[in-house]
Structure 1
């Protein structure tokens, strides 16, 4: 086993990567958010993954900007009456501890049992700002996922589903199944991030087999139209590159990208596209 396989031996290790990036952002003099728990969750391995990742991403800017966009999406949903957040593939996310959330908000984290058990251990003694529950479940198992959604949504009326950093590791078929399973009247919004095939090629080349044991699979050529075809309407689409420029996080070598017209998120493109989107579904018929 080589060094890169050791660093990311399983998709769960990407949670350490994201936590390390949040910790790097929090240590800045001008952070776009602060996450005092991120360093603890990242551990030495998380920082090693950052160091072994793409050279242009070693400041953690991409993960930090994505996290900030999801923060904004969540707060928007709360202002619009959201009564539950379902965080699918929650990893080492700490938003229930760091965001200004209503004390009566129901927040459910779902992920693999081993990862959630480690997270419980690392965050022992910490108090969430909302009604936080963790549910061990294999979200890639359609039956387990459906049973989880049936149970958790029983008391919800306007839920927000988050899949930050999750769909990248699913096949097109699995993403389609997830999109159809989320078409429920209790779910008002779906927050999702993805990139196109051009961005996928860049990342595949720049990670130098770092993700060999946890390959990124989903990179829809049709972009957001992939979700529209499944009955999901985009309410907001935010380019991570444009947002990074707005937040002053785009590395100097990539800044020219921000001044170019961004690729159409609904059409294939030879230019890299990476977005965070808020989707809504008016047709809740699951096919």
Structure 2
């Protein structure tokens, strides 16, 4: 008998990721603590972790993006815009400036579920939520107009989003984010070789949420890599990956050869672009 995949669509992956954040939070050497993750994952999210390979890349990715956010704030970030925010809890668990405006956008059903679970919780900054389909260009543009108004150094997050989009949608997003008030764009990057590996190992579990997009970093025309950290190297240093991969701790942070053209690299990347005004 073939077991039906527990992940029905892309929105389900948010519970899946939250469940792995909860598991990481229970470790004595946790890379981060997320006291809300277990509640957000719920029984459905926990059931998704019962089968399949370890999701250590997702666990480590979370930490790397955390670091990029905090580094950006230290460098003058005055607004965070999280597209397809899913069940992310950073406004509640990171030490953020109280005056920081943090915008979150996602689909109505997922955002409604998240708000019901988080009712009564107080974020560490000013958190604003909006229902937005990021593949609707008009809706995305209107949201960005609102979310970046009055900001000078916005950081946009698209963690866990791009692989699920069609290449044309990623290209549209790439161009839409090149705004003078957006200083940085942080992504988790998965090259074409990594996409094939993920769909090969997790394709049946992901079902209709199979990954669709991957490209070398030079796909992101108009953007320059400002920071890049290897998931494999970070995982090896933190002893989260399998022992056979622990040698990655001694590999270069960036890919061998030009990072922008690498077909086999994954990591957390922060972009900037030529139109940026920078801090005052």
Report if aligned partners of 1:110, 1:135 keep a CA contact under 8 Å in 2. yes
Q: Which residue does the alignment assign to 1:239? A: 230
Q: Which residue does the alignment assign to 1:80? A: 75
CA distance in structure 1 between the aligned counterparts of 2:170 and 2:272, rounded to whole angstroms = 16
Alignment of 1:36-51 (within 5 A): 36-51=35-50
Uncovered stretches (5+) of structure 2, i.e. residues with no partner: none
Alignment of 1:11-90 (within 5 A): 11-53=10-52, 55=53, 57=54, 60-90=55-85
* TM-score, normalised relative to structure 2: 0.92
RMSD: 1.5
Quick one: which of 250, 261, 264 aligns to 1:267?
A: 261
Q: CA deviation at 1:283?
A: 3.2
Quick one: which of 239, 248, 271 aligns to 1:279?
A: 271
CA distance in structure 1 between the aligned counterparts of 2:247 and 2:233, rounded to whole angstroms = 11
Alignment of 1:224-235 (within 5 A): 224-227=217-220, 230-235=221-226
Structure 1 residues 258-267 or 109-118, which shifts more? Answer: 258-267
| SS class of match (2:206) | coil
Deviations 1:227-251, CA, capped at 9 Å, x for gaps: 1xx2000011111001111222122
Q: CA deviation at 1:214?
A: 1.2
Q: Which residue does the alignment assign to 1:250? A: 241
Q: Which residue does the alignment assign to 2:128? A: 133
Q: Which residue does the alignment assign to 2:106? A: 111
Uncovered stretches (5+) of structure 1, i.e. residues with no partner: none
Q: CA deviation at 1:274?
A: 1.2
Q: CA deviation at 1:124?
A: 0.9
CA distance in structure 1 between the aligned counterparts of 2:174 and 2:118, rounded to whole angstroms = 31
Q: CA deviation at 1:52?
A: 2.7
* TM-score, normalised relative to structure 1: 0.90
Q: CA deviation at 1:254?
A: 2.3
